[in-house]
Amino acid sequence: MELIVARIDRAQGLRGEVAITVRTDDPDRRFVPGRALRVERAPLKSLTIAAARTYKGRWYLRFDEVSDRDGAEQLRGAVLSADIEALDDGGDEDAWYPHELIGLRVERVDGRQVGTVTGLEHMPAQDLLVVREPGGSSLIPLVRQIVPIVDTAGGRVVIDPPGGLLHADGEDGESAS
């Protein structure tokens, strides 16, 4: 399965380097020379990283297949992805890819059904699960105190939300009024 790791924003300089928007959790490990990336919406279908660097918090890549600014300009807006198995070292058991969480059923610690995970929002403090409930959607902080169990094999996420966090809390009498 492919995982999106970056989007090419613009050409940088005259030697084919590009500025990217990072879409991965560990760019130092993902953007290493020799790594092959699949390209969506660009003339080339695959690119091999020749060099990677950061400057003032921004990432820049150069590819074996692109040698000048014109070639780099043709890549503007392209989405870069990589094979998950090639990227994953299996190191963190409490780490999931967004596609692994989407579609999981959400239930409270007492077994009551809440809804379904429909997305994941990346925020500065922590990620938020987007949960579709019968009456709307809620954003659930993906922290161990509120989400003690993520069971991808069992197809469920167990939550222990404080009062008022869920959309339905206002309707079922659990929120403090």
43 with 107, same domain: the answer is no
Asked if residue 69 and residue 103 are part of one domain, the reply reads no
Task: From 68, 87, 106, give the residue that closes a domain.
Answer: 87
For the cut 80, the answer to whether the pLDDT of residue 93 exceeds it is: no
Q: State whether 81 and 24 are in the same domain.
A: yes
Query: How many other CB atoms are found less than 10 A from the CB of residue 72?
Result: 24
8-45 confidence digits (pLDDT tens): 999 999 999 999 999 888 888 889 999 999 998 777 78
Sheet holding 149-151, edge to edge: 136-141, 127-133, 113-122, 105-108, 156-159, 149-151
What is the pLDDT of the chain when averaged over all its residues? 87
**Any domain includes 176:** no
Q: For position 156, which CATH number holds?
A: 2.30.30.240
b/e for 154-175, b at 16 or more Cβ within 10 A? Answer: eebbbbebeeebbbbbeeeeee
| Domain span including residue 53 | 2-87
Rounded Cα distance between 124 and 134, Å, is 28
The neighbour count for residue 33, using CB atoms within 10 Å, is: 12
Put simply, whether the predicted model's pTM sits higher than 0.75 gets the answer no
Residue 23 lies in a domain: yes
Question: Which residues contact residue 7 at a Cβ distance below 8 angstroms, ignoring those fewer than 6 apart?
Answer: 20, 21, 23, 77, 78, 79, 80
State the pLDDT at residue 124.
79
Same domain, 6 and 81: yes
- Name the band, by pLDDT with cuts 50, 70 and 90, for residue 175: very low
Predicted local confidence at residue 176, as pLDDT: 39
The reported pLDDT for the residue numbered 170 is 62
